[in-house]
Amino acid sequence: MKTLLLIDENEASRRRLLPVFEASGWRVLEAADEKTGWDLARECQPEVIVVDLPVKLPDVTYWLRALRSEAPLRNVKCVVRSLGSTAVAGDALLVPEWTEAHLLAALESLGADHAPGAAPASETAGNQQIATTFKFWGVRGSIPTPGADTVFFGGNTSCVEVRAGGEIIILDAGSGIRPLGLALAAEFGPAPIRINLLISHTHWDHIQGFPFFLPAYDSKNELRVLGFEGARDGLRATLVGQMESPYFPVALHQMPSRLVIGELKDMRFSMGPIQAQACFTNHPGVCAGYRLVTPGGVLVYMPDNETFLRDGRRANGSPVPSPLERNICAFIRDADVLIADTQYTAAEYDRHVGWGHGCLDEVVRLAVGANVKRLFLFHHDPSHDDRFVAGMLAHARELASGLGSAMRIDAAREGEQFEMAPVAAAC
C-alpha cells in the first residue's frame, strides 16, 4: 500500500483529511510539526507528503529541498498549501485551498504511478501541472554594465536559472551566475546541490562568471557542465583557458566540487527527466539555443542569434528566411516561453548586420509567426539604459499588437522569477 505523510499542525484538519486519504487507498502517517514529519519521512519513505505548516512558503521550499537531498526521498511528491502566496515551492504542487476536493485533485494530477524525478518528459508534459520556474540572474549582452542607468533591468551578463522536474538547470555562466551561486549556497546550506549548467557558447559574456560560482568550490556539490565545442577548442579547454594564470588565481581543476564537463555531440539530450534539444544559431563561432521540455511547458533559450542572414536578408523589401532561419522558426515553434536576443532596434541593426545579434522587430515577427506564447527580450545592449530598454519593450508590444497577436512580451529583468504552470487553475 502506498504511503502518504500528512504534516499539518491543525489536529482537526488532520482528523478531517485522514479518512479522505484512507478512502482513496493511502496508508496515512500523521505529523503535527516539521521535526516529526522529517523523522517519519526518513523512516517510512512515503510516496507523497502533504504539507501545511504555519511558516512562509520559502521556508517550506527549503525544508522540502533539504528533505529531497536524502537519496531515498529524492523523488517524493509534495503537495503544499500555498497560504495565498504567489511564490513557488520548487516542483511541489501548490494547493490554494485545503479542502478534500482540492487535495484529491492535486494527488490525481501528480499521478499515482510516477514520481516527479522519474517522469518521462514529452511535449505534453505541461499536463502534469507541476510548476516550472525560471529566474533571470543576468540579462545583458557583451559586458557587465552596472550603474544607476541600468539598475532596473540589470547589468549582469547572461544567466538564467530554471527549476523543473527536480532539476536545477542554469543557462549560461555570465556574471549573473555569481549572485545565483551565492543564493544557492544560502538556500541549500549543508545539503548537497546538483546542478546542470548549459553553455550556449563560449563568448566571454556567457562564461565569465563561472570562476566566481560559489557552489563549484564546495566538494559536496555536483556540477555537470554541458555545451558544444568552442570555435577553436573544446568546451573544457576554453573553460580551463579563462582560469589559467595570469588571468585567474585558481585553476579549474582546483575547484573542489564534483565537476563534469560534457561536450554535447547530439542535438537531443536529457537532464534527469527534462528533455532538451539544441539548435545552432546564426552567431559567430559555435552557438546553440536550447529548448527545454519541462513539466510546466516548453522554454526556449536563444541568447545570441541574428535573425536574418546578411545575404538573404531582404528581397523586394521583404524579409526572406534563410534555411537556418526556417530551422530556428521550427525550433521555437509553439514555445510557452522564448528568451531571445533582441540586442538592436531596427535602426541599429542596419548598422550591425552580420554581428550575430537580433533585430527587435524581426524577432517579434519571428516569434509571432512561430506561435510563441510569451517572449522575453534578452541580451540587452550595454549602451541601452533602462529608459531605452523600456522604449524597446513598448515598441515590441505595439508591433505584436499591430500584427494581431496576443503574445505576451516582457523585457528580461534581473532578479525576476516566473512560474510556468497554471497550478492554481488546475486545482
Q: Using CB under 5 A as the criterion, which residues of the chain lie in contact with Zn ion when the complex forms? A: 141, 203, 205, 304
SS3 at position 370: coil
Smallest distance from Zn ion to CB 71, Å: 38
Which CB atom, from 21 or from 378, has the smaller least distance to Zn ion?
A: 378
Which CB atom, from 161 or from 341, has the smaller least distance to Zn ion?
A: 341
Which CB atom, from 285 or from 321, has the smaller least distance to Zn ion?
A: 285
Angle between helices 177-188 and 57-68 (to 10 degrees): 80
Which CB atom, from 163 or from 203, has the smaller least distance to Zn ion?
A: 203
Please check whether residue 106 is in contact with residue 6, taking contact to mean a CB–CB distance below 8 angstroms.
no
Which CB atom, from 52 or from 205, has the smaller least distance to Zn ion?
A: 205
Please check whether residue 273 is in contact with residue 118, taking contact to mean a CB–CB distance below 8 angstroms.
yes
Residue 123, CB half-sphere, CA atoms under 13 Å: how many?
A: 6
Smallest distance from Zn ion to CB 145, Å: 13
Please check whether residue 27 is in contact with residue 2, taking contact to mean a CB–CB distance below 8 angstroms.
yes
Which CB atom, from 229 or from 304, has the smaller least distance to Zn ion?
A: 304
* β pairing state of 77-81 and 48-52: parallel
Q: CA-to-CA distance for 122 and 295, rounded, in angstroms?
A: 8
Q: CA-to-CA distance for 45 and 28, rounded, in angstroms?
A: 12
Cell numbers describing residue 364: 517579434
Which CB atom, from 205 or from 385, has the smaller least distance to Zn ion?
A: 205
Smallest distance from Zn ion to CB 201, Å: 6
Residue of minimal Cβ distance to Zn ion: 203
Beta-carbon count within 10 A of 382 CB? 16
Please check whether residue 28 is in contact with residue 43, taking contact to mean a CB–CB distance below 8 angstroms.
no
Q: CA-to-CA distance for 297 and 274, rounded, in angstroms?
A: 11
Smallest distance from Zn ion to CB 224, Å: 22
Cell numbers describing residue 416: 525576476
Which CB atom, from 141 or from 272, has the smaller least distance to Zn ion?
A: 141
Smallest distance from Zn ion to CB 324, Å: 16
Cell numbers describing residue 177: 551566475
Cell numbers describing residue 336: 510557452
Smallest distance from Zn ion to CB 422, Å: 32
Which CB atom, from 167 or from 341, has the smaller least distance to Zn ion?
A: 341
Smallest distance from Zn ion to CB 244, Å: 21
Which CB atom, from 133 or from 345, has the smaller least distance to Zn ion?
A: 345
Smallest distance from Zn ion to CB 143, Å: 9
Smallest distance from Zn ion to CB 379, Å: 6
Nearest to 92 by CA among 103, 106, 78, 74: 78
Which CB atom, from 68 or from 203, has the smaller least distance to Zn ion?
A: 203
* β pairing state of 77-81 and 93-95: parallel
Give φ, ψ of 176 to 5 degrees. -65, -15
Smallest distance from Zn ion to CB 343, Å: 8
Q: CA-to-CA distance for 46 and 37, rounded, in angstroms?
A: 11
Angle between helices 34-44 and 57-68 (to 10 degrees): 20
Q: CA-to-CA distance for 333 and 201, rounded, in angstroms?
A: 22
Q: Where on the phi/psi map is residue 45: left (φ > 0), alpha (ψ -120 to 50), or beta?
A: left
Q: CA-to-CA distance for 98 and 95, rounded, in angstroms?
A: 7
Smallest distance from Zn ion to CB 356, Å: 6
